[in-house]
Structure 1
Amino acid sequence: MIESFELVSVSPLVAIVDDDVSMREALEDLIGSLGYRALMFGSAHDYLASPERSQVACMILDVQMPGMTGLDLQTHLVEHKTAPPIIFVTSFGDDTVRRRAMRSGAVCVLEKPVQEDEIIGCIDKVLRGGAGEG
C-alpha cells in the first residue's frame, strides 16, 4: 500500500532583537499579521544563545542596545557566516550608522518610529523577493 504524505508548509521565522519591550511586541503583532512567526529577544546575547537562531529567515535588529549593539551583532554574524538578512531599526539613524549597516549587508535601515508600510516593504523584499524601502 502506498501512503500519501501531506507536506506542511511552515511560515518563515523572523527574529526581533530589541531591548524595548513595546517595540518587540508591536513588531511581533505586525509579523504575525503578515503570516510569519516571530521570535523575540531583548538583547544580542539572548539571540546568540538561542538554539533556534539557525531557523531564522530574517532579523529585525535595533542598533542601540545595552551590551552588544546591533551593529556589533551584525559584524559577529557576518564574520561567522551565520547572518540572516537584517533589517535595522534605530532612533539614531545617522549616515555613519546607515553606511556601516548597509556595507555589512543590511537589507534596510529604518528610523524609529518605524512606519508600518516601510517595515512591510523590507520584510517583503527579504521573504517574498519584492521591492522594499532601503
Structure 2
Amino acid sequence: MREVSKMAEAGPVVLIYSDDEPVGQALRFVLGMDGVDVRLCPDAASLLASPVLREAHCLVLKDGPAGVDGCALLRAARARGARAPAILLVSLFTASLGARAAEAGVWLVLERPIMDNRLIDAIMDCVTSHRRQLLSTNT
C-alpha cells in the first residue's frame, strides 16, 4: 500500500490562476471556511513554479489574462506533473473553445461572469473527485 501524500492528509489545495485579486481573495475566504487551502497565482509563471502544483486537488485557470491561453497553461502544468482536475473560466464560450478545452483535459468550462455559487460548487466537486481518485490509487 502506498502512502497518501502529506498534502492530501493536510487538506485540499486549490491553485487559482487569475489576474482578478479581489475575486481570488473572496474565493480564498469562502473556501477556507471549508478547510481548503487556496493559493493565488497572479501569472502563469507563478502557477507553473508553485511548489504544490503536483499535489493540488483542483486548478482554476482564467483564460485570457496577459494573453495566456488557459488550455496551453493546463498542458504546461500537466507536463510538470499536475494531475488535478482543472476548471477553465472564459469570457465567451464557443464550440471551438469547448473542443480545445476537451482536448487539453479540462474538467469543466465556466463562462464569466459567474453570479451564483457555481464556481464554489464546482471547485468543491473537483476537490472531492480528486480526493476519491487519490484514495483509490493509494489503497
TM-score scaled by structure 2? 0.74
Shifted more, 30-39 versus 10-19: the winner is 30-39
Rounded to whole Å, the distance in 1 between the matches of 2:115 and 2:90 is: 12
Shifted more, 74-83 versus 102-111: the winner is 74-83
- Confirm or deny: 8 A CA contact 2:54 2:83 kept in the other structure: no
- Identify the residue that residue 88 of structure 2 maps to in structure 1: 88
What letter is aligned with 1:110? L
**If each structure's helix is expressed as a fraction of its own residues, which one has the higher value?**
2
- Confirm or deny: 8 A CA contact 2:60 2:89 kept in the other structure: yes
- Identify the residue that residue 114 of structure 2 maps to in structure 1: 114
- Confirm or deny: 8 A CA contact 1:107 1:122 kept in the other structure: no
- Identify the residue that residue 49 of structure 1 maps to in structure 2: 49
Indicate the percent of aligned positions where both proteins have the same amino acid. Answer: 26
TM-score scaled by structure 1? 0.77
Partner SS state of residue 92, structure 1: coil
Higher relative contact order (CA 8 A, sep 6+): 2
Shift of 1:46: 1.0
Rounded to whole Å, the distance in 1 between the matches of 2:103 and 2:25 is: 29
What letter is aligned with 2:34? L
The 1:14/1:116 distance shift into structure 2, 3 A limit, reads farther
Deviation digits for residues 61-92 of structure 1 (CA, Å, limit 9, x no counterpart): 10112153322111212344434210111213
What letter is aligned with 2:123? I
Rounded to whole Å, the distance in 2 between the matches of 1:115 and 1:30 is: 15
Alignment root-mean-square deviation, CA: 2.0
Structure 1's consecutive aligned runs of 4 or more residues displaced over 4 angstroms after TM superposition are none
Rounded to whole Å, the distance in 1 between the matches of 2:81 and 2:52 is: 16
Partner SS state of residue 14, structure 1: strand
Q: How many residues align?
A: 121
Partner SS state of residue 117, structure 2: helix
Name structure 1 gaps, 5 residues minimum: 1-8, 130-134
- Identify the residue that residue 72 of structure 1 maps to in structure 2: 72
